[in-house]
Amino acid sequence: MSSASRVIGVVGAGVMGSGIAQLFAAGGHRVLLVDARQGAAEAARQQIGQMLDKLAAKGVLADAGAAKARLSAVPRLEHLSGTDLVIEAIVEDLGAKQELLRDLEAIVGRRTVLASNTSSLSITSLATACRQPERMVGLHFFNPVPLMRLVEIVPGLRTAPDLVEDLSALVAGLGHTGVVVADRPGFLVNHIGRGYTGEALRIWGEAIAPPATIDAVLKDCLGFRMGPFELLDLTGLDVSAAVMRQVYDGYWQEPRFRPVPDIAARVAAGLHGRKTGAGFYAYPLTPAPAAPAPAATTAPIWIAPGPFADEVAALVRRLGGRVDTSAAPAGEAIALFAPLGSDCTTAAVAAGVDPARAVAIDALAGLDRHRVLMAPPGQDPAVLAGVAGLLGSDGVPVSRIGDGAGFIVQRVVAMMVLIACDAAQQRLATPAAIDGAATLGLGYPLGPFALATRLGAARIHQIAERLFAATGDARFRPSVWLSRRVALSMPIDLGDSSPCDLSSLAGH
């Protein structure tokens, strides 16, 4: 197969099948659309025709008439006998899909490629229904298909290797980016997406910060368009919970993927998000009234030594605070720490500073977009409020959260990077493909490797080591893939496809 005009069969004319049919017809291919429900394929054809007209009116598509002429609704599978490629987008059920594959094999020619748009089933398992498993492959599109320009190309263990190359060219010819992904639970996008929402859920589950604070901090500090809880509410917790379970169980209870216990109860209670009117937020959204800004402290601020000490001192001075430059905090001075991977309590105790006068700020992603502060338990809240007053006096938002190692940004970034490094180690995809999947498939501003490079891979590694030491939770154990590169002072190579030098074993 090549990117030249082909005859494509699409089985299942629902949300995904319609999008796939539209994409291929607009891309110059002949498309035959079929659905088991009577009239569904024809209704979809008409709807796609209207979409193509709209695209032409907007100037996005040159010739809607020609695209429409390339698309036909056909009543039976037998009409797909002359196709080069059949993509199934029917109900997500292993038995139904395998039965369809058996039926298709009896109809199509020996060289026809059979592809599945499944989002959760194993391609290798689906292919066991085929007499020729080497022609079976996963082609995982995202919703809405014409706009989400990523396609996961998933070879099963018995898929012919040249098929992957051909499909990559075909997908590229449609203006989409194909990413070749191993046949594992969650493929790539749903796998690497576990870090952002998963760690945010744990921070919330540990009562360190509420959803609105976590969302605001991650959007402001890292440039995400949506916070993790906004995303969960948009996708629907019922759908996300199924993915969480699939990836967690599929990786044999890998701690990095462990969901928080409240998820099942929230799904049972119907707190699915926007579609049920309630999730982590209540809909329609009503903006929370702004709390009055606390008064700025007049106490001197002693800045703890560390990698961000100069930046923190410059900020305090810029905001009119008094910096205590003595070797240790004197008198009424408040000690301000900017720790990596530690909580404020640990930082204060390690420095021999009175925790009652200690405050910590997260400086990893800079200090100018949103400032996150925490203080040890039992401290007079006026101390933290006074520092928040000073550090918010230029209008930059300040959030006060519970004392927790790694604040919000450090923990979430560390988990995103750890999961991505594990994926690279396991040859799930190259670092470049992982970053591409994150930006194109998940809409992240940066992929996890680009983020690690921007914030400092060695720092992220150090955060993971400290989080692991502080919590004893195996979810934070450092990545061996990253620790090797950090030990060698080696930058992350986005094209790195042989992390364990197993290239000779590719395909096994």
Contact 388, 294 (CB under 8 A): yes
Cβ closest to ligand NAI, residue 126 vs residue 209: 126
- From the CB of 449, what's the least distance to ligand NAI, in Å? 25
CA-CA distance, 34 to 468, in Å (whole number)?
52
CA-CA distance, 189 to 193, in Å (whole number)?
6
The answer to whether 508 is a known catalytic residue is: no
- From the CB of 191, what's the least distance to ligand NAI, in Å? 14
Cβ closest to ligand NAI, residue 35 vs residue 105: 35
Contact 499, 480 (CB under 8 A): no
- From the CB of 188, what's the least distance to ligand NAI, in Å? 13
Cβ closest to ligand NAI, residue 76 vs residue 110: 76
Three-class secondary structure of residue 443 per DSSP: coil
H helices present in 134-193, as ranges: 161-173, 189-192
CA-CA distance, 279 to 270, in Å (whole number)?
8
Cβ closest to ligand NAI, residue 90 vs residue 137: 90
Three-class secondary structure of residue 6 per DSSP: coil
Contact 49, 68 (CB under 8 A): yes
The answer to whether 140 is a known catalytic residue is: yes
Report CA 412 to chain centroid distance, whole Å. Answer: 11
Report the residue number whose CB is nearest to ligand NAI: 14
Contact 467, 479 (CB under 8 A): no
Q: Which one is catalytic: 117, 190, 342, 399?
A: 190
The answer to whether 79 is a known catalytic residue is: no
Q: Which two tokens stand for residue 336?
A: 């301000």
Cβ closest to ligand NAI, residue 17 vs residue 376: 17
Residues that bind ligand NAI (CB under 6 A): 11-17, 35-37, 40, 89-92, 96, 100, 117-119, 141-143
Q: Which two tokens stand for residue 291?
A: 């709390």
Q: Which one is catalytic: 152, 176, 199, 479?
A: 152
Quote the Cα angle for 245-407-304, to 5°: 155
Give the residue carrying structure tokens 């000779």: 504
Contact 216, 230 (CB under 8 A): no
Cβ closest to ligand NAI, residue 386 vs residue 441: 441
- From the CB of 78, what's the least distance to ligand NAI, in Å? 13
Cβ closest to ligand NAI, residue 42 vs residue 311: 42
- From the CB of 9, what's the least distance to ligand NAI, in Å? 11
Q: Which one is catalytic: 116, 117, 122, 140?
A: 140
- From the CB of 46, what's the least distance to ligand NAI, in Å? 14
Q: What does 72-89 look like in DSSP terms, one character per residue?
A: EE-SSGGGGTT-SEEEE-
The answer to whether 332 is a known catalytic residue is: no
- From the CB of 61, what's the least distance to ligand NAI, in Å? 22
**Helix 457-471 to helix 480-487 angle, to the nearest 10 degrees?**
130
Cβ closest to ligand NAI, residue 37 vs residue 317: 37
Cβ closest to ligand NAI, residue 120 vs residue 276: 120
Q: Which one is catalytic: 119, 122, 240, 342?
A: 119
- From the CB of 164, what's the least distance to ligand NAI, in Å? 19
**256-260: which pairs have CB atoms within 8 A and are 24 or more residues apart?**
256/194, 256/195, 256/198, 256/415, 256/418, 256/419, 256/422, 256/475, 257/194, 257/198, 257/419, 258/198, 258/475, 259/198, 259/201, 260/201, 260/202, 260/204, 260/205
From the list 334, 344, 297, 291, the residue with the least C-alpha distance to 319 is: 297
Residue type present at position 352: G
From the list 475, 438, 431, 433, the residue with the least C-alpha distance to 457 is: 431
CA-CA distance, 375 to 358, in Å (whole number)?
6
- From the CB of 40, what's the least distance to ligand NAI, in Å? 5
Cite the active site residues: 119, 140, 152, 190
